[in-house]
Every structure is written in structure tokens, then in C-alpha cells.
Structure 1
Amino acid sequence: MHTHTSTKHAGICVRDLRARQKVSQLDLALRVGVSQRHLSCIETGKASASKEMLLALLEGLEAPLNIRNETLVAGGFAPLFGSRPIEHREMNTINEVIDLMLMGQHAAPAMVLDSEWNLVKFNPGFIRLMNLLEFDVAALQATPNILLALTAPGGLATRLINPAEVLGDVLRRAQREALHVPSLQAMLNQIPQSMFESKVPVDTNNPTLVTRFQSAVGELRFISTFTTFGAPLDITAASLRIEHLFPADEQTRTAFS
């Protein structure tokens, strides 16, 4: 049986997450099917929340698995989701799928990022792209964060032909994700504010945003796809996404053939 104090802390976790996402008490109550009054009592610690209720509230907020674990522990319950390192033997199937996707389109640059945009894995096409952009792969591996690599002085953004368009999309995406990942928000705070302020019209002549690089072989044009694991039950697996950069014109296809 959990104590009033631990339940109060769990309620604060729910309240803080709800506030970060700018979700009202009424909205969350409707999503979960409880009264706003009961939700208010849980958040203030006046009412205890069962494990099932906490999980329902966290599901209603689409909380990351690590936040769900932290809230359960704060409520006096055992954590529900594992957090295996990527090299753990129980992650073998995850790694096999990742390697298959990285090498299945080996000519197209591809990389695996975690929830903080750290570079976890990449394929030969990605190395080829970095070389064509004359960007130091060793330096990127030393500080393997794509957000910082893009926005640092002399970073990858300096190779972009359409930096405002691409950075605008990247930073908006990162800001949305930071609602669930506080450590990502801390990283965004390191990026110069001016990079968040540029607004340019998106070229709607294309069906998707085209990332354009100036390289040693001329302009390279890519469209991006993102792949995540369906129904993850492990914090590490949930944090991973695979980004493919597919050539968007003949010149780029030739450079990566």
C-alpha cells in the first residue's frame, strides 16, 4: 500500500507533464474518462491514484516510457518498462532490424538517433555524405549530437542551401519532442535564439520538404523519412528513430550510386 506522500508526488508528476504540454485539466479528464474534480484531487495529493489510473493519465498525455516509470515509482509502484542498453543481448532483435534498415538502402544516407538527437548508428551512405560535405566524421562522433552539429558555428547548417527552411522544420520538431524530453529542452537552450526566429515560406511546389546541400560535387537534394518501432515496451527502443535521406534528383542519385 502506497503512502499519501508518494501519491502526492505522483500527482505532481502528472500535473507538471500536463502543464508542459499545455493540456488543461478538463481536456485530460475527458481523455481518460474521469471527472476534472477527481483529477484535481490526484494532482494535489488529496486523492490517491491506483497504478491503473496513473497509467491511464500517462497514456492520455502520451508520456514517454521513462516518465511513466518515474511517475509509477513516485506513486509507490514498481517501474513497468525496461531500459536495456542498445548492446544488451535482449536487444539483439532490435539491432538486427536497425542494421537491416540501415543497409537495405545502403547507398542512401541513414542514421539512428535517440530522443536527444544523439547519433547512435549510421551507414556507409552517411559517411559518404559527410565526406562530400567536407564535414569531419571523427569530430561528429566525438560530439555525436545532430542538433548541435547542425547549429554549431561552422556546423552542418553552413552546408545547407536552404538553411532557414530546413532549420525551421528541425527546430520546430525538436521543440515538440522537448515537451516529453526535458533534457532535450536543455539542449535547445544552448542553441542561439536567432536560429528559432527565421521564418521563410516553405516551397509548396514539392510534396515534402527538400533538404539541399552544397557539396564537393555540386548541389545534393534529399527527402527524409523517419521510422520508429511500433508499440515499444523498452525505454531505449522507444527512444530510437531511423532517418533515411533519399536522393531527390538524378545528380544526387549518381553521387550515391
Structure 2
Amino acid sequence: MSHHSFHPTYSVAGTAAGEHLRRFRQQAGLSQLDLSLIVGVSQRHLSCVETGRAKASPGTLHALLRALDVPLDLCNAVFVAAGYAPRYVASSLDAPAMEVVHDAINHILQANNPAPAIVISSNWDITAANASAGLLFEMAGVSADGESGLNLLDTLLRPGGLGDSLVNVEEIRAIAWQRAAREATSNPDLARLLQDVPKPTEMPVDAPPSPLILTRVRTENGELRFLSTFTTFGMPLDITVASLRIEHLIPADAPTWQRMKSAYDQRLAVGAKTPQR
């Protein structure tokens, strides 16, 4: 059996490729003229593609979808709707072909110590973490053990999780919810998770997206402050790889850096192994 298989995240039955393109373009806030200039096709041709009067070539369709930053699984769905074969595969996380990806992830995680870093799947499951992330969860009084693992969205939004240890919990929960809600439009599993967890009571209006988020963690020995940012894999050709992202929690001040470094050095001194999943 092949380790590669394509699993569309939503049904495309009865929906033409042009209709999908129009929806994605509107969600991106682009006019037909804007998109045609970005991709280098005429506005008239784009209009004909969206209305079904013309069929985009595979190359043009690929350029349109990448310009709109459409997830790879949805790109496949549009290619199928247009009558073409899907272009991308979805590898199992334990497939041999993924070994090089795991090696790269492990290198990034270890290089980030003593700053915490975690790997998050498309469903916000934490699939790997460095030693410093485990230490931070311990300081915050959150258990990261268990057969089912830890889901970042769940532990942020559900009472009794990491969210309870955040000083700026309303802000972080609102940001997490809004990001997950956008991603859930093309991810039914994530949409179901959002229905199951509590929705934040305070949702800021017109909050501009920021590449850096200040996360303030309350611990028994005082507050820790981190700048949170994400890393994704550039130009991936695999749906599974494209869905993975690494969250980096960079100490935002000297006391936080010193506490994380001290805790990490102590962990090394007792010979504890770096937790990997």
C-alpha cells in the first residue's frame, strides 16, 4: 500500500472550479482586476473562468490558487472540479518520506532551546515539542502527558487548561479563536472542535493581525513574557507538510530568558531526555 493518499476536506460535488475561484478571490478581498494583475492573465479571461465560459489551463489554475494562498488540499479539490488530476499528496506522519521533515523539525526545536517551541498540526494538535516547552507547561501547572496528547486550541479555550495561566487570557483566546475560525472554513475536523470548546466572551472588533503576539504566562515564581510567532514550510508539495507549523515562544525580556535558561540547564544537568512525540 502506498504511503501517499489524497483525502479532500470537503465535497466539491456540483461546484464548478470557477465558482471556487470566485469564492476564494472574494475571501481574499481581491477584485478580478487585482488578481489578474498579480497572476498575469487578462481580467476578461479570469471573468470567463469564474463564470464557466472558459477553462483555465493547469498552469493558470495553479498560479491563481497560489496567488490566493489556497490550502493544498483545497487546491486539489479545485483541480478535480476542473477535470484535472489532483497535484498534491498527503503523506502519513509516520511515512518514510517524512523522515527528512521530522529531522528538520527536530533540529529547529532543539536549536530553539532554552526558548519554548512546539509543532502544531492543522487541527491544532501538538505533535512535537522541545524540552523548554515542557518546562513552560510545568511552570504553568499544565500537564502535557496523556495518551491523547495535547491540543493547543483546547488547552487555551477550555477551563483548567493553559488559558487559566495566562495574564492576558482574553486577548490570546480571542486571537486563537479568530485564527482557528478562519482555518475551519476548509477543515471540518477543526470546525467540529470549535463547536465543542467555549467561545471567548470578549472578541475585539477590527483587531489587526500581527505576526508577533505577546503571551504573558502566570507562574508560582512570577510572570513570564514571550513573543509568539509561527514558522511554516516554504513551497511545500505535500498537504501534510503544508499543514504543520512551528510556534516559537521567544522570551520578551531578560528575566524570562534567564528563568528559561536556568530551568533548561537544570534539566540537562539531571540528564533528562528531551520530550519528543
Task: Give the whole-Å Cα distance in 2 for the aligned partners of 1:138 and 1:195.
Answer: 29
- Residue 106 of structure 1 corresponds to 113
Is residue 106–residue 124 contact of structure 1 (8 Å, CA) maintained in 2? yes
1:166 aligns with 2:154: no
AA aligned opposite 1:78: A
1:7-26 matches, cutoff 5 A: 9-26=16-33
CA gap 1:14/1:109 in 2 versus in 1, 3 angstroms: same
Is residue 20–residue 179 contact of structure 1 (8 Å, CA) maintained in 2? no
Task: Give the whole-Å Cα distance in 2 for the aligned partners of 1:149 and 1:158.
Answer: 9
2:86 to 44, 61, 79: 79
Unpaired runs of 5+ residues, structure 1, are 1-5, 203-207
CA gap 1:24/1:186 in 2 versus in 1, 3 angstroms: farther
AA aligned opposite 1:33: G
Residue 121 of structure 1: how far off its partner (Å): 0.9
Task: Give the whole-Å Cα distance in 1 for the aligned partners of 2:36 and 2:192.
Answer: 29
- Residue 228 of structure 1 corresponds to 232
- Residue 153 of structure 2 corresponds to 147
Is residue 174–residue 200 contact of structure 2 (8 Å, CA) maintained in 1? no
- Residue 118 of structure 1 corresponds to 125
Is residue 225–residue 256 contact of structure 2 (8 Å, CA) maintained in 1? yes
CA gap 1:32/1:151 in 2 versus in 1, 3 angstroms: same
The DSSP-based 3-state class of the residue aligned with 1:153 is: coil
The DSSP-based 3-state class of the residue aligned with 2:90 is: coil
Task: Give the whole-Å Cα distance in 1 for the aligned partners of 2:251 and 2:111.
Answer: 15
1:197 aligns with 2:203: yes
Residue 194 of structure 1: how far off its partner (Å): 4.2
- Residue 215 of structure 1 corresponds to 219
1:89 to 85, 93, 96: 96
The DSSP-based 3-state class of the residue aligned with 1:142 is: coil
Residue 94 of structure 1: how far off its partner (Å): 1.0
Q: Deviation per CA, 1:63-97, whole angstroms, max 9, x where unpaired?
A: 12111111112222122122112221111111111
Unpaired runs of 5+ residues, structure 2, are 1-12, 263-277
AA aligned opposite 2:148: A
Task: Give the whole-Å Cα distance in 2 for the aligned partners of 1:36 and 1:186.
Answer: 38
Task: Give the whole-Å Cα distance in 2 for the aligned partners of 1:192 and 1:125.
Answer: 28
The DSSP-based 3-state class of the residue aligned with 2:66 is: helix
Q: Which protein is richer in helix relative to its size? A: 1
Residue 161 of structure 1: how far off its partner (Å): 0.9
- Residue 255 of structure 1 corresponds to 259
Q: Deviation per CA, 1:134-174, whole angstroms, max 9, x where unpaired?
A: 112135x6263211220112332211111233334434444
Task: Give the whole-Å Cα distance in 2 for the aligned partners of 1:25 and 1:224.
Answer: 35
Task: Give the whole-Å Cα distance in 1 for the aligned partners of 2:22 and 2:160.
Answer: 40
Task: Give the whole-Å Cα distance in 1 for the aligned partners of 2:14 and 2:192.
Answer: 28
Task: Give the whole-Å Cα distance in 2 for the aligned partners of 1:218 and 1:62.
Answer: 41
Residue 27 of structure 1: how far off its partner (Å): 2.5
CA gap 1:253/1:132 in 2 versus in 1, 3 angstroms: same
Task: Give the whole-Å Cα distance in 2 for the aligned partners of 1:190 and 1:226.
Answer: 25
Is residue 164–residue 198 contact of structure 1 (8 Å, CA) maintained in 2? no
Residue 184 of structure 1: how far off its partner (Å): 4.3
2:241 to 218, 227, 237: 237
Residue 177 of structure 1: how far off its partner (Å): 4.5
Cα RMSD of the aligned pairs, angstroms, is: 3.0
AA aligned opposite 2:93: I
Residue 102 of structure 1: how far off its partner (Å): 1.0
- Residue 57 of structure 1 corresponds to 64
The DSSP-based 3-state class of the residue aligned with 1:137 is: coil
